[in-house]
Structure 1
Amino acid sequence: MSTSAAEQGRRDFLKTGAVLGGAAAAGVSLTSPAAAASALPLPEYERWDATEIARLIRRGDVKPSEMLEAALARAEAYAVINAVAVPHFERAREHARTLDGAGQAERTARPPLSGVPFALKDLGVALEGTITTNGCVFFKDAVADHDSTLVQRYQAAGLNIFAKLTSPEFGQTATTESRLFGATRNPWNLAHSSGGSSGGASAAIAAGVLPVAHASDGGGSIRIPASHCGLFGLKPSRGLIPMGPRAIEGWMGLSVNNVISRSVRDTALLTQLSQGPEAGSRVSPPTADLLAALAQAPRGLRIGLLETNLFGTGLHAECLEAVRKAATLCTGLGHHVEPITLSELPFMEMFGGLGIMTGTGLLVSVQAREKQLGRAVREDEIEPVNWRNLQKAKTYTAAQLYGARAVFDQGGRVFDQLFGRYDFILSPTTAGLPPKLGEISLDQPYDDFARNAVLASPFTAMFNMSGHPAMSVPLHWSAEGLPVGVQFAAPFGGEARLIALAAQLEQAAPWADRRPPALA
């Protein structure tokens, strides 16, 4: 795709519905659920998860092109949330048309998710011939010359990729706002953030554009947006999902790929289809039958309850209520929950190393792009917080980088020992509610950013550094109607355990039918 074609495609998309007035003019209003339901194709589409969509396509009840148009109509009607960064609509339409005429035998023989609409995150992933901007002006015309290993697996599963979804610049904050694409809004309250850095994915799913979408997580970027938008988000163990082929680990193991979804079974299915080593992998957790785990309701779990923000900056009352409600629910399901502390965890040293590691990752990405373009990046091409971090990263030493990874491993050892006594660690997902737009944007002075950003990831980032899997489960809504997730972390390679517990919680306290009031 050429730069001009990509820019024109986004402009055309924005013209069709990127402002509330445009949606209203088309007969669809975010404040009129009945009008939205009647005006959009396949009104029942928003109730289906990807597993059900695949079943309907396989049976011949609906065509892949009908499903794609249902998704695209919602992307345009709900475009006020600003979740689509790079549209690949015509590419997806062409693919859907090739699938439409299949007979029953051919449909049955096709991959399990053949024709299901899907979208990638606009960060660190490559779809050959298309642009991945990383949310950054400096990368606005960066065309991929290959497919990521994960994209290859998604395509082998039959998914029809129609767009890339918004991310903040380089995924460096827990909101999805950028100079390049503007702010992505939370469908539950348009004045609030949908989270980050996979905020385009969470907003699109919460709005009903998609049932599941690709996401990545380097400090909470799957779990935080899932929490803020009332969705399910599983960050897998380090090494379970491929990051290649150009790099086998993201941010030296901090960043991992997976999805955000409305249903637990969709996450189980997508993780099942994408897990496992790739060429070049050396250390990876064992794979498991995650679909079988859906039916394995756990009994008598030992759960450690963590309520303390180790930064010492407090915890919002709604986040505390959410985690205590989750503890009560688990107790009612027959599990044992007791308070724990993390006094042996080198918490502050780990977070100091986090800044070194993510800053170095930022520097390497920018330097690679500078080499491609044959020129240095300009300050006006990077947002202020990232520009500051980029300059600081140039001063880091090899010893500092080595020390950061070493302290992560020390933290992992502490958690491994704790998981010898507990099956799970239960905590809030975030220390605060979904922030107002602008509060943790990268386009502001660093001190203003840091003051608010500290509430985003004190609970999530620990498990990026340690490499353990963790999930955010939507079990609470605030008095103002904002979703508030809770986090469960498990031993390394414990994805099947997490899926089994999540399925049990989903059955006990269903969330799939809870929709933003304006979009219900």
Structure 2
Amino acid sequence: MRFDEYRAHDATGLALLVASGDVTAAELVEIAITRAREVDPTLNALVQWQDDAARVRAAGALSGPMAGVPFLLKDLFQAQAGIVETSGSRSGVSSRPRVTDTVVQRWLDAGVVVLGRTAVPEFGAKGVTEPQAHGATRNPWDPARTPGGSSGGSAAAVASGIVPVAGASDGGGSIRIPAAYCGLFGLKPGRAVVPAGPRAGEMLFGSAVTGVLTRSVRDSAAFLDIMRGSDDDAPFEFAAPSTSHVEALGRPGPRLRIGVAARSALNNAPHPDVLAALDRARDLLVELGHTVEEVASPFDEEQLARDFLVPWFVHLAAEVSSASAAARPTTTEFELDTLVLAEIGRATRAVDHDAALARWQDHVRAIAAFHRRFDLLMTPTTAGPAPLIGAFDTPFVERVGARLALALRLGPILGRLGAVQDAVMRSLSAVPYTQSANLTGRPAMSVPLSETVDGLPVGVHFLAPPGGETRLLVLAAELESARPWFDRIPADVLSERVG
């Protein structure tokens, strides 16, 4: 099999070829490794290579619905026992989890062949993947731009054709943002649909979930079938439906009532090409018989942003503390931005943290009221196309001030500094649409329906009520059939470093 033939199939198609004997798992692994070695010097998508282990596994007996399919794990929340998991931090270079995460084991039981691990920002805390531990990961559509974060390495690997599907996770948009920037399909499952055990009951107070990035809707449906359902360590039970999501794709879905909100209080001027993409998606939905109405956002978006950030800062403080205790690193082994946000989290009063978490239910009530009138909420996925590498770097003067404040342990003052708040809100203004699904535990997806006039991918975002994964996937399959995107791939990436 040639690479162009390999890339012409999604994971489901490759698995069928292996099952029929038309190709072997070993052949697929060699194609994937060769492709990775060719493009990774440019993209910097992989932070760990497992070539030898992949070859051994591919040569053995494999079973399951994805037997023989090359696969990559995200270097965060996707542990393999005994394999280093850095979480994008220099403090994690010697971290070797003692257990394999449940969802990773389910992927392995389905027959995938893991080739390595993909790049993430430090502790997954940014919407771009530019960790100091590994360097910036680049977008196959334009290597001067980011693939997004925190699943940026996985998105770059799938978009460039290394693998047809890769592990991802989403605590504030980390599946859907890279999907939009890289022309992929990205589904964030709802809260508790995919297990977080055995190392956690839930991730990030229940707002973060595991998923995958794919090029086809049927691959995302198949992998959700593989992942879904509680494990023994879950804090409460989610019983997987008796009907598979793949089977649901074969049946026509109902005509939906969809509310569309183009702008956000965090960014009232999205890129014109993003608005044009939303208009084209609305027209397509109407052509397909759906009802689409313009609505105001159901959320108090500025309050939601604050309620998203406060627990994130506290969580990051806990991550830094835990990593420090495990590895005994010096503070220089953490990035300055991480230390600043962690210090703000450390200085956050318990009552303020509790109040932010309590207000998550206010946002749940707001979207529940919306869904009593509409089946789905549609927005852009991001406010613009993929930003340039370094667009969100902290300016030098602010870095000097932050280092001084850290040295003097001025956490409460850091939290009130306009520079810090401006930087955080500037980052959120680029991706103002995705956090609501995390806080409310709703399933959501980014669909690669369009591109800018310069040919960069643009995603359209849909948010569903609890249990709406099937509704989203069926609609996505309908859109995929009406406006196919699988063969829309970036020009080949040169195997030379950018910078």
What TM-score do you get using the length of structure 2 for normalisation? 0.91
2:224 aligns with 271
1:387 to 327, 335, 339: 339
Read off the aligned partner of 1:81 and give its amino acid letter.
Answer: L
1:67 aligns with 28
Read off the aligned partner of 1:395 and give its amino acid letter.
Answer: A
2:409 aligns with none
Read off the aligned partner of 1:427 and give its amino acid letter.
Answer: T
1:121 aligns with 74
2:13 to 29, 32, 52: 52
Gaps of 5+ in 1: 1-39, 100-106
Call closer, same or farther: CA 1:302–1:313 in 2, change over 3 Å.
Answer: closer
2:483 aligns with 509
SS in 2 for 1:334: coil
What TM-score do you get using the length of structure 1 for normalisation? 0.87
Read off the aligned partner of 2:191 and give its amino acid letter.
Answer: R
Q: 1:198·1:216 contact (CA, 8 Å) conserved in 2?
A: yes
Residue 499 (1) aligns with residue 470 (2): no
2:354 aligns with 402
Q: 2:74·2:117 contact (CA, 8 Å) conserved in 1?
A: yes
Gaps of 5+ in 2: 400-418, 495-499
CA RMSD of aligned residues (A): 1.8
Q: Tell me, in whole angstroms, the C-alpha distance in 1 between the residues paired with 2:312 and 2:211.
A: 19
2:288 aligns with 333
1:247 aligns with 200
Q: CA deviation at 1:443?
A: 9.0
2:103 aligns with 150
SS in 2 for 1:177: coil
Read off the aligned partner of 2:255 and give its amino acid letter.
Answer: G
1:18 aligns with none
Q: Deviations over 1:463-508 (max 9, x none)?
A: 1111101000001110111100000111111000000000000000
Call closer, same or farther: CA 1:125–1:357 in 2, change over 3 Å.
Answer: same
Q: CA deviation at 1:124?
A: 2.2
Q: Equivalent pairs: percent with the same residue? A: 37
Residue 140 (1) aligns with residue 102 (2): no
Residue 469 (1) aligns with residue 443 (2): yes
Residue 414 (1) aligns with residue 388 (2): no
Q: 1:219·1:457 contact (CA, 8 Å) conserved in 2?
A: no
Q: CA deviation at 1:125?
A: 2.0
Q: Deviations over 1:166-222 (max 9, x none)?
A: 111111111111111111111111111111110111111110101110000111000
Call closer, same or farther: CA 1:519–1:368 in 2, change over 3 Å.
Answer: closer
SS in 1 for 2:293: strand
1:24 aligns with none
Q: 1:439·1:452 contact (CA, 8 Å) conserved in 2?
A: no
Q: Tell me, in whole angstroms, the C-alpha distance in 2 between the residues paired with 1:474 and 1:234.
A: 12
2:265 aligns with 310
Q: Tell me, in whole angstroms, the C-alpha distance in 2 between the residues paired with 1:378 and 1:509.
A: 52
SS in 2 for 1:514: coil
Read off the aligned partner of 1:361 and give its amino acid letter.
Answer: H
Give 4+ residue runs of structure 1 displaced > 3 Å after superposition: 40-43, 282-286, 441-452
Q: 2:87·2:122 contact (CA, 8 Å) conserved in 1?
A: yes
Q: Tell me, in whole angstroms, the C-alpha distance in 2 between the residues paired with 1:440 and 1:245.
A: 35
Residue 358 (1) aligns with residue 332 (2): no
User: How many aligned positions are there?
Assistant: 469
Q: CA deviation at 1:457?
A: 2.4
Q: 1:234·1:259 contact (CA, 8 Å) conserved in 2?
A: yes
Q: 1:113·1:157 contact (CA, 8 Å) conserved in 2?
A: yes
SS in 1 for 2:310: helix
Q: 1:430·1:456 contact (CA, 8 Å) conserved in 2?
A: yes
SS in 2 for 1:186: coil
Q: Tell me, in whole angstroms, the C-alpha distance in 2 between the residues paired with 1:242 and 1:86.
A: 24
